[in-house]
Amino acid sequence: MRLLRLWPDESHFDFMRFRRFTFPLSALLSVATVVLFLTIGLNFGIDFKGGTLVELQAKSGKADVAAVRHTANSFGFGESEVQELGGEGQILVRFPLQAGEQGQTAVMNKAHAAFDADYEFRRTETVGPRVSGELVQSGTLGVVLSVVAVLLYLWFRFERELALGAIVGTLHDIVLTVGIFIISRIEFNMTSIAAILTIVGYSLNETVVVFDRTRELMRRYKTIPTVELLNLSINSTMSRTVMTSISTALSLLALVLFGGEAIKGFAVVMLCGVVICTYSAIFVSTPVLIYLGLMLSGVKRATEGRGGVPQAAE
């Protein structure tokens, strides 16, 4: 029985020829992301800006999330977050941070006036600017330490040129993912940090698969030029890449369409991240090896293909 193949086994598609277009494109998008980050910035959520959190329990046992969201936004305190919890009829409402104690009191007074008839107030918490500042520091530190750990792993996992290529690809994916947050204005909160870390792991997985095959082929073929070697690496792993990307994208698409407002932002960013990581593994981190000067047995490889069948090492 023949296994399903989404990419031809004997494909010889020349991916490396696109590097003259993908490198300038990726550089332009990365620079634009940095500029937008410095000028516009991220749309920070209540986790980082502070605010008031209220947990409601519907007295009827069934909560109307849309109605609660509409009512909360009509208070005039800014856009509120409303999401369902695990229990039936449980809702979590987050109101933006208001100036002074009187502002927070006004939020609670309006919330009680609007929801007391149909909902029971189970829990109320206020996140002040000091706490939100600590969350920003903790979240940033967590992301930085995780990325540094991944980069160290790549450095010791591969030879120098392969490690540098993997590091370039990983940083590229992080920058463009942040760009998705800036352009879409999806709220950046603690869930967003989880999305970034997940994308880092996915990027690492995609890159390691291709580079493992590259290293294997480097030992097998001693005379094949770098361009042909990298094309062979990508073509030989492309079936796996297509299968993984499509299955992951379909799962995330289902979450975007049917997962509800609570995880929609996370799912949208993850869906974009899968596309970015797949593109990066093929058109950024692998072609950059050509410019880094991929080495084999201390002898620099030729950078241009020459045709013909690769010759295996004796």
> Tens digits of per-residue pLDDT, 194-223?
888 889 889 888 888 888 888 888 888 777
- Looking at residue 57, its amino acid is Q
CATH of domain 51-127: 3.30.70.3400
pLDDT of residue 307: 44
24: number of CA atoms within 13 Å, CB side?
3
Handedness of CA 236, 237, 240, 244 (dihedral sign): negative
| Ramachandran class of 61: left when φ > 0, alpha when ψ lies in -120 to 50, beta otherwise | left
Q: In this structure, what token pair is assigned to residue 42?
A: 């991220």
Q: What is the pLDDT of residues 245-281, one digit of tens each?
A: 999 999 999 988 887 766 888 899 999 999 999 999 9
Instruction: Say if residue 308 is exposed, middle or buried (CB neighbours under 10 Å; 0-12, 13-18, 19+).
Output: exposed
Confidence band of 303 (pLDDT split at 50, 70, 90): very low
Which of these ranges, 2-6, 83-87, 276-280, has the smallest mean pLDDT?
2-6
Confidence band of 140 (pLDDT split at 50, 70, 90): confident
pLDDT (average), residues 41-60? 80
More reliable by pLDDT, 169 or 79: 169
Which overall architecture, per CATH, does domain 16-42+132-300 show?
Answer: Up-down Bundle (1.20)
Share of the chain above pLDDT 70, in %: 85
* pLDDT at residue 167 is higher than 90: no
In the block, tokens 């996992």 appear at 157
* Alpha-carbon distance values, 302 to 211, 293, 294 (Å): 18, 9, 9
pLDDT (average), residues 159-172? 85
Q: Sketch the domain layout of the chain as residue ranges.
A: 16-42+132-300, 51-127
* pLDDT at residue 129 is higher than 60: no
pLDDT of residue 33: 95
pLDDT (average), residues 163-188? 89
**How far is Cα 105 from Cα 304, in angstroms, rounded to an integer?**
70
pLDDT (average), residues 91-112? 78
pLDDT of residue 4: 58
pLDDT of residue 273: 93
Return the DSSP state at 260.
-
pLDDT of residue 304: 45
* Alpha-carbon distance values, 233 to 86, 244, 286 (Å): 45, 17, 9
* pLDDT at residue 1 is higher than 70: no
Average pLDDT, the chain: 80
**How far is Cα 210 from Cα 288, in angstroms, rounded to an integer?**
13
pLDDT (average), residues 239-250? 90
* pLDDT at residue 55 is higher than 70: yes
pLDDT of residue 31: 95
pLDDT (average), residues 46-57? 78
Which of these ranges, 125-129, 184-188, 190-194, 219-223, has the smallest mean pLDDT?
125-129
